[in-house]
Amino acid sequence: MARSGGKNNVLPGFTPALGYTIFYLSLIVLIPLSALFFKTATLSWDGFVAAVTAPRVLASYRVTFGASLAAAVINAFFGVLVAWVLVRYRFTGKKLIDALVDLPFALPTAVAGITLASIYSQNGWLGRYLEPHGIKVAFTPLGIAVAMVFIGLPFVVRTVQPVLEELDQEIEEAASCLGANRWQTFRRVLLPTMLPAILTGFALAFARAVGEYGSIIFIAGNMPMVSEITPLLIITKLEQYDYAGATAIATVMLVVSFLMLLCINLLQKWSRRFAE
Amino acid sequence: MQAGKLTQRSEGKGAITEPAWVRYLLITAALAFLALFLLMPLAAVFVQALDKGWEAYLEALKEPDTISAIRLTLITAAVCVPLNLFFGIVASWAIAKFSFRGKSFLITLIDLPFSVSPVVSGLIYVLIFGLQGWLGPWLQAHDIKIIFAVPGIVLATVFVTFPFIARELIPLMESQGREEEEAALTLGASGLQTFFRVTFPNIKWGILYGVILCNARAMGEFGAVSVVSGHVRGSTNTIPLQVEILYNEYNYAAAFAVASLLALLALVTLAIKTVSEWKLQQSISVAGKER
């Protein structure tokens, strides 16, 4: 796999290929994204701060990040469980289940949104059993977290699964020979090996949940200060022709996305080093 | 391959597996979680779509607004997928077959649309082409509509589906190295011949995989399209937006009927994805043996 430098590479087409890549990337992604920062730069600093720290906006951050965090924690736990079961055990229908794990990637978010809202609403399949016990899911922050669990579900499973598959079982044999019981082996040997992958999946699920819109708005109820997510607030501002406000909040969201991307890249580097 | 063998081996050994009751407990817990969060929503789409019987189901799909939404969604995907396919192939050729500085930074930039909220993805196009935007006044003077019209929907969809094919092909082509292409060139093949006869057969399953995921997202995108579409019934509504409108009008049976089309698309996508993954694995292990 050692690759020689550009000089003795005989393959043709490098310059046009790279040129087109950069051209199309700039046209579709970089220039439009920079528009957001240029537009923000035209706002006054005080106006920007006022727009992104208004009480309703702060409440939307709390709802969005709080629910995303809760959903990512649930996904980290159950993601490891599902990955473990899929890699280590045999049962009927395993291949089918394995394929279905990616459903949240393939199912359009609007479809997920109306479906979850109908399941957890008062007369829904689950809502009718939960509401008499005082558990309201639809139209509350809890519902937002449920939608986020759905869309984030594949991330942890798909990052942990390959690590578990490649794990050398001799390590576990060694641990067992040295007198560790199964739980100790899991906690002391397996869990640390899986940790970079778990954290990567956790961060991916969290990042996805923070920006999510379609699957949430139907189940959220969208009450200002209570169950209004930040992406929805951007749309609300746009519909009121408050472009400056929408842009300012979008900039905050974009900066958060960039920070998350940076974290995820660092985590992936760490897990690659771990694997070697 | 090897993972399968290891799993089988582990079944027999007590030291490195769990007692049977723990295994059953874990399997049950995992399946219960998946049933609750995956299977139940999937089943609910179809049950509620057919709530009022087949006739009402077909009637909802024959609605003129729904037909035009389907048409717009197909047009959008038909523009987006080829554009991003061409980009994906070109970018992965440059990135996987050559070495240059800033390569990993370029890959990060290509991945960028994945980490941007769909709503923000739509907003940036409003800021450029909208009435208040950079090009807004000029576009209005020339009577060109982009925002609240089809071009805006296509642009926003191209943005959100931008990385799918490239990020699938880059690692695949990197893993295949350059030796085969170099051999073909040495034997006198032209650059394009080398690509179509040597590279393409090696990456065709990867291309299918990327295309199918790109298509699913292009047809299902909601947030970004919702910002730029303007929701004009019968003209700028895609299938997901039509689902939203019907749902908000409390026309649940029709909303779920239209949604079931997208759910079917998701199931077909998963099936093709699984097959191409399997083929990909096969071709990689065959190539590994030959080498």
A214/B98 touch (CB, cutoff 8 Å), yes or no: no
Percent of chain B with pLDDT over 90: 71
At A68 the pLDDT is 96
CA pair distance A184, A193, nearest whole angstrom: 14
Nearest CA in chain A to B215: A106
Q: Is the pLDDT of residue A248 over 70?
A: yes
Q: In chain A, which ranges are continuous DSSP H helix?
A: 14-25, 31-41, 45-52, 55-88, 94-100, 103-106, 109-120, 127-130, 141-166, 169-177, 182-184, 191-211, 214-220, 230-239, 243-275
Interface check for B250 against chain A (CB to CB < 8 A): the answer is no
Nearest CB partner across the interface for B6, out of A3, A169, A261: A169
At B267 the pLDDT is 96
At B230 the pLDDT is 78
Give A172 to chain B, closest Cα distance, Å: 6
At B262 the pLDDT is 96
* Lowest-pLDDT range of A142-156, A185-199, B79-93: A185-199
- Position A198 confidence tier, pLDDT thresholds 50, 70, 90: very high
Question: What is chain A's mean pLDDT, rounded?
Answer: 90
Q: Is the pLDDT of residue B291 over 90?
A: no
Nearest CB partner across the interface for A260, out of B27, B115, B159: B115
ipTM: 0.89
Question: Any idea where the domains of chain A sit in the sequence?
Answer: 57-275
A114/B87 touch (CB, cutoff 8 Å), yes or no: no
B115/A211 touch (CB, cutoff 8 Å), yes or no: yes
Q: Is the pLDDT of residue A3 over 50?
A: no
Q: How far, CA to CA in Å, does B194 sit from each of A178, B86, B91, B216, B288?
A: 55, 17, 17, 31, 21
Nearest CA in chain B to A203: B115
- In B, which residues are within 8 Å of A29 by CB distance? 109-110, 112-113, 159, 162
Nearest CA in chain A to B216: A106
CATH number of the domain at A57-275, please? 1.10.3720.10
Q: What is the mean pLDDT of residues B56-68?
A: 92
At B128 the pLDDT is 92
- In A, which residues are within 8 Å of B220 by CB distance? 106-111
Nearest CB partner across the interface for A20, out of B40, B90, B100: B90
At B4 the pLDDT is 42
Global pTM? 0.90
Q: Which long-range contacts (CB under 8 A, 24 or more apart) does A42-45 make?
A: A43/A244, A43/A247, A43/A248
Nearest CB partner across the interface for A85, out of B27, B213, B221: B27
At B6 the pLDDT is 43
DSSP structure string for A37-94? HHHHHTS-HHHHHHHHSSHHHHHHHHHHHHHHHHHHHHHHHHHHHHHHHHHH---TTH
At B14 the pLDDT is 52
Q: What confidence tens digit (pLDDT) does each residue in B44-54 have?
A: 999 999 988 99
Give B119 to chain A, closest Cα distance, Å: 6
Q: Is the pLDDT of residue B90 over 60?
A: yes
Q: Is the pLDDT of residue B1 over 50?
A: no
Return the sign of the alpha-carbon dihedral for residues A68, A71, A73, A76.
Answer: negative
Question: Interior CA angle at A194 toward A188 and A199, to 5°?
Answer: 120
CA pair distance B243, B231, nearest whole angstrom: 11
Nearest CB partner across the interface for B120, out of A3, A107, A250: A250
- Position B41 confidence tier, pLDDT thresholds 50, 70, 90: very high
Give A100 to chain B, closest Cα distance, Å: 7
Interface check for B71 against chain A (CB to CB < 8 A): the answer is no
- In A, which residues are within 8 Å of B49 by CB distance? none
Q: Which of B143-147, B177-181, B254-258 has the highest mean pLDDT?
A: B254-258
